Structure formats: structure tokens, C-alpha cells
Structure 1
Amino acid sequence: MDSAAGAGGLDLHPDDLPDGLVVADRLGLVCCFNVEAARLTGTRPAEALGRPIEAVLPLEDPDGRRWWELTRPYRGLATRSGQPERNLLLPGGNEVLVSARYVRVGPGGPVRRLVVTLRGTDARQRSERSNAELIATVAHELRSPLTSIKGFTATMLDKWDRFTDEQKRLMLLTVDGDADRVTRLITELLDVSRIDSGRLEIRRQPVHLDAAVRRHVDSLVGEGCQRDRFTLRIADPLPALWADPHKIDQVLRNLLENAVRHGAGTVTIELHGVPPNRTRQEGTAVTVSDEGPGIPDGAMHRVFTRFWRGSDRGGTGLGLYIVKGIVEAHGGTVTVGRSAGGGARFRFILPAGIPAFLS
């Protein structure tokens, strides 16, 4: 496939694309280099074709580290499907937004094609506006719990002897709850940063999803939810799962809290094994659905983007964006749809199995 080749048998030509497109074969040699890629990099297609992609695109992150050494598309984790878009530098300090897609030979197989897209300064400016919006949103969400913490601690320090032990305990419980809220907001912000930069760390170990789901349901019941609001459907046995338990807890907590807060009626959690097919290895599927008003059809495509909110009940709008980032970092997929009861239905699939060195 060269820069003059068609795309998938269609009439679309790579040079017709608005973004830079660079494709490397299984050996890492460039086999497609379109006009926009040439404009952004200053390299002519004839100079790029047939050369190693690392040499054609000597990309570095803002800290001066070589991007190819960080991402290792041909030698890294076999379940990775690509790299999210991020700001990188070409020689001379030219900034571009770069994302990558790994086309593999079957699920978990070697990389057959490496597809890299490049975008210029306009895209970078949009990214900066998005980051500014992120900062403003998180600052707004932090203000309320910090104001509460400051108010209660100042009151207790000033009038400690006037309060009964029970009053002091209630105020300290409020402060403790607000501190947890601040911690969670900061964790969300850090997770977004790591997802955007492709640096989200996954520390894998055996995970029992059924036990994790039951634990989160018990936690929500302890916080005031009625137990009969939850229905669990677990198909035994589930495939072995090797994942980051803390990150999976984030995903489960986010989806269950969304169903409780924004949905209505019964919240149904289903777990079952998923057989392998042409594009996917064996895995475990988790579905969380409710009987609320659901998500409008016109908003389905925006659910996993930054700042999307399903209602006006507060929140940063980052939770589902983080869910998607965590699931994809595990090599899995997450989708949204409508449940049988008309409410929202979220489903994520995680690849099963354990690392080869432990098998």
C-alpha cells in the first residue's frame, strides 16, 4: 500500500483525508504516507516509503523521551489495540497530535499494520481548550467539599467546648466524607492525565469479578440503597481473569453509582463468559442496566467523552471517560445501549487468561 493506493477498495484516497496518515507494515517499514503527513512533517512521501517508521517519525514527548521506546508497538503488551491521542514533538520542536492503532494478526497476535494519524496546531489548540475546561470543572467540583471542610474545622476550633461529643462526631464524619470526595476528584484528574498520555499503569493479578461485584453492592447498600434494588445474575464458571483489581473496582463503582444515581427501578448486574471469535479472545462480560429514562439516542456517541453528564445531578462528567480508558488499557471493550426496561445498559468485556510466564 503506497500513498497512491485506495482505502479498503473504496474510492477514498489517503491524500483525501484531513489528517496525516502513516502506515507501517509488520516489519515497521512505512508503506503509506499521505500528503497531509508530508505537510506536517516536512518529509516527502518518496523519502518516507520503505524506511523504518521510527526514522520517518522521530517523535518525542514534551520531556524529551522517544515515543517509540515508550510505546513499543511491535514488542509491547499483545492485548493493546493502540495509543490514545497526545501531544508529541517532531525535530525542530514542531508539535503534532499523534494517535496509533495496532492491527493484529488475530486476537493477541503480532502487529500486522501500525496505523498512525497526525493532526496539526488547530487540533492542539482544541486540546488545550479541553484541558482548560477540565481544570475549570475540577476546580468547581473541589470548591464545595473544601468549603465544607474549612467551615466545619474552623467552627470546631473556635467553639470546641460548646459542642457535645455527638455533635463533634457528626461534624467530623462530614469532614471525613468531604475529604474522601476531594481524594476521589484528585484521583479522577490524575487518571484522565494518565489516560490522555498513554501512561495508565495496569498492575495485573488474579481478579474474581463476582466477588468484586458483590462487594460493591454491599457497599452501596451500606450507604443507604435498598438491597432489593439490585439483581445479580452470575453464570458459573467465569473464565480466569488477570487484571488490575483497583482499576476494575473503579469501573464497577462508576457504573453502579451511575445506575443508582441517574437510573431508576432495579439495577441488574450480569456476568458471563464470552467465547473467542475472529477478532476477540475468550473473555468475561459485565453488564449493568437500569430501568430509568435511559440515554437519548442522539447522545449515545458522546457518553464516553470528557464532561458528558447524563443529568443535572452534579459530577465532573469524567467517570465514563475513565471507565473507557481503563477497560481499553486492559485490552477490553465497553459499549452503551438501551436495556430491556428502557434504561441505560453498559457492557464491558475483559480478555481472560493469565500471563504466559505464569501459565
Structure 2
Amino acid sequence: MTTADGERVPATPGSSAPVASMAELLPDGLVVVGADRRVRLVNAEALRILDIPDPADLIGLPVDDVLPLTDKYGRDWWAHADPWDGAASRTGHLEKLLVGPRGKEVLVTARYVRSGLGGGDERVDRVMLGLRDAEARQRAERDQATVLSTVAHELRAPLTSVTGFTSSLLRRWERFTDEQKRLMIETIEADANRLTRLITELLDISRLDSDSLNLRLGPVDLHDLLRTHVVRHELGRATGAVRLELGDAAAEQGLPEMWADADRLEQIFFNLIENALRHGAGVVTVTLDRRGEWVVVRVDDEGDGIPPSDREKVFGRFWHGPSNASTGLGLYVVRGLVEAHGGTVTVEENEAGGARFDVRLPSGLPDVVSE
């Protein structure tokens, strides 16, 4: 017998060839148990999921013995569900996470096929089990746990600082000098801004993942926007830590008219500059240029650069490399916001050996302005 693609499919012992052939076409695992509670059919996907190499280990044998299933409480699922002797109105069970043979977790859906046309003779003729690998769900749960752990860690540090300083100021205001008070209030402000950025990034990730991010497009003077960023960083750090330059093409031809979401561009370049200052070294150089009708911004640092094997990973969600010095959210948001504008962002090595982030954004007036 063959599948629709012409591939040879062996018949499952004890089953009709057409049924076994159709079972092999299913994307999920299938196990059929007869009224005598013995396994009648199993497809190749079910064998793979259950990690059972030989169908002879299942076919024709009592299901309780060869396919034990237990729930999260350790109860025997077959005895607890009782497909054959339960209420006649039952049609099956929704998907459940069960532990199968050899301790492997499996997602199981059950359907009861009843014989007879009524009159009290509605016995279960077959129990059909749909099996799916639980790996995808486990991976999603691990990702969710990572999100919760990261958010809790990043929120705790600034909140501890804010509550500590505010408590001290409220209870011992007269004991502090004006300079000490100013320093404490500035720290509170900085930590509050850090919390705001983290919450904004988390909300943006949710919008990007659900494809619900809206842009408020308008004319943008990107040179002025970047100059404001550089001045802001110079005021907060050693003078010269960040510098802004114009590329040759931009100096000769000027910059094309650009329409974008100014707030989102500020977020993009704040994250890139902060990333360069945190993970790079030396002076961070921001170069504004053009390539035809594209506006290009390069952010270079003088650090050790990013290994080629990690250059795509840095844009992943919660990826922060071996240093664990950041949330791993910033560059994921950067790529999402740049691509939402119809642009691209890449990373490579610059002439000094450090990292270069290259952002290309389209210019011109868009056909439709999103609100």
C-alpha cells in the first residue's frame, strides 16, 4: 500500500490496509483501542512520540499494560477516565498533558466511538487517542518562565532603590543635606525612568508579537533627533563618550525627506546607543548618511565586537550573551520597530574591530499614515 505521495506504508498488523494507510497521513499520532481494550492500530507518528520502535510492542496487547498513562497526580488515566464503563453521554476528553511509557510527557486527546443506534446499547466500540509531542508546550512554558523571571529581576532592583530612598527621605528628611537629598531624588528619578523603559519594552514586545503595533507617522528631522540624543548622553556621561557625524553622501547631497514615528525612532537609537555604551568600549560614533533614497544610521563602538556566530542571536528575545548585563529585550524591540518602518537593521564588525549596527530606513511620504 502507498500514501498519496507514492511512499510505501506498511500495514499495521490487525488493521485494514486502507485505514492504516490513512492513519499514516495524519500529522498527529493515532492509537486506536478496541472494545476488548486491546490496541488495534497505531501510526508511525504515535510510535515516534511514544518512543516505541516496534508496533508489535503495542498491537493486539492490553492497552493498560503496553500504554500506561498517568496524570499529573500520578493516577492511572485509563482507570480514572474509564472510557468503556462511564456515562453513555460522554464523547471523549479534551487534550490533557499525561505521562506515557518511559516517563515521557505526551499531549493526549480521546474520542469515543460508540456502536448501536440507541435503546441503551451504546457501548464504546473504539477509543481513538490523538497524540502530540509535548516538547512545544514545554518550550513555551520555559519561555514564559524566563519572561517572568527576567521581569521580576529587572523590576525588583529599581523598585528596591525607589522604596529605600523614599522611605529614608520621609522618615529622616532633616538629617540629610540638600546635596544628599538631590542625589537621592536623582537616583529615584533614574530608577523610575528605568522601570518605565522596561514596561514600554514589554508592551512593545506584546504588540510586535501580536502584529498590533501602530505607528504615528510624520515628518522627522533625524539629524536633530540624533543630535539631541548625543547631547543627552554627553550630559550624563564623560564628554565625548558619544559623537555624531555626517557621512559623505549626506554632507554633499543632504538628507531626503523622512516620514516616521519620531517617538519610535527615539526608542530605536536610545537602545542602540545604550547597548554600545554598555557592551562596547571607547567612543561611540553615530554616523548619519544616505544611500539613494534610504536614510542610513551606523552606530559604532570600539569594543571587542560580536562574534559572527552571535550576530543574529543578539536580536533574539531575552538573549543577552554571557555577561547577563541586560534584559535582552532592547535589540529585539529595535529590530521589530525598524522593520515596522519598512527598514532593516544588521550588525557587523567595523574598522576598529568593534560592533557596527547598521540601520536602513526608507524616506519619502508614505501612501497611508497609520494612526
TM-score class normalised by the smaller sequence: 0.5 to 0.7
Spell out, residue by residue over 1:74-105, the C-alpha distance to the aligned partner (whole angstroms, 9 max, x if none): xxxxxxxxxxxxxxxxxxx99xxxxxxxxxxx
What is the aligned partner in structure 1 of residue 243 from structure 2? Answer: 230
Spell out, residue by residue over 1:170-202, the C-alpha distance to the aligned partner (whole angstroms, 9 max, x if none): 222211111111111111111111111111111
Query: Who wins on radius of gyration, i.e. which is larger?
Result: 2
Q: 1:201 is matched with which residue: 188, 211, 214? A: 214
Spell out, residue by residue over 1:13-39, the C-alpha distance to the aligned partner (whole angstroms, 9 max, x if none): xxxxxxxxxxxxxxxxxxxxxxx9984
Q: 2:267 is matched with which residue: 250, 253, 260? A: 250
Q: AA paired with 1:274?
A: R
Q: 1:318 is matched with which residue: 315, 324, 329? A: 329
The answer to whether the 8 Å contact 1:259/1:267 transfers is: yes
The answer to whether the 8 Å contact 1:233/1:268 transfers is: no
Whether 2:227 is the aligned partner of 1:214: answer yes
The answer to whether the 8 Å contact 1:231/1:266 transfers is: no
What is the aligned partner in structure 2 of residue 353 from structure 1? Answer: 364
* 1:72-151 superposed matches below 5 A: 122-151=135-164
SS in 2 for 1:303: helix
SS in 1 for 2:165: helix
Give the share of equivalent positions with the same residue, in percent: 50
SS in 2 for 1:317: coil
What is the aligned partner in structure 1 of residue 199 from structure 2? Answer: 186
Q: Note the C-alpha offset of 1:209.
A: 1.2
Separation (CA, whole Å) in 1 of partners of 2:225 and 2:297: 11
Whether 2:320 is the aligned partner of 1:309: answer yes
What is the aligned partner in structure 1 of residue 8 from structure 2? Answer: none
Gaps of 5+ in 2: 6-23, 29-93, 96-131
Spell out, residue by residue over 1:274-320, the C-alpha distance to the aligned partner (whole angstroms, 9 max, x if none): 23xxxxxx321111111210011221121100122256262201100
Q: Could you list the runs of 4 or more consecutive aligned residues of structure 1 that deviate by over 3 angstroms after TM superposition?
A: 36-40, 119-125
The answer to whether the 8 Å contact 2:227/2:244 transfers is: no
SS in 2 for 1:286: strand
What is the aligned partner in structure 2 of residue 241 from structure 1? Answer: 258
Q: 2:303 is matched with which residue: 292, 295, 299? A: 292
The answer to whether the 8 Å contact 2:316/2:331 transfers is: yes
**Of the two structures, which has the highest relative contact order with CA contacts closer than 8 Å and spacing of 6 or more?**
1
What is the aligned partner in structure 1 of residue 120 from structure 2? Answer: none
SS in 1 for 2:269: helix
| Count of equivalent residues | 246
What is the aligned partner in structure 2 of residue 112 from structure 1? Answer: none
SS in 1 for 2:172: helix
What is the aligned partner in structure 2 of residue 58 from structure 1? Answer: none
Q: Note the C-alpha offset of 1:233.
A: 2.4
Separation (CA, whole Å) in 2 of partners of 1:140 and 1:205: 37
Spell out, residue by residue over 1:219-264, the C-alpha distance to the aligned partner (whole angstroms, 9 max, x if none): 1001013226525124141121111101111111111111122112
Q: TM-score, normalised by structure 2?
A: 0.60
The Cα RMSD (Å) is: 2.9
Q: TM-score, normalised by structure 1?
A: 0.62
* 1:161-172 superposed matches below 5 A: 161-172=174-185
The answer to whether the 8 Å contact 2:258/2:362 transfers is: yes
The answer to whether the 8 Å contact 2:233/2:242 transfers is: no
Q: 1:269 is matched with which residue: 279, 282, 286? A: 286
Whether 2:186 is the aligned partner of 1:173: answer yes
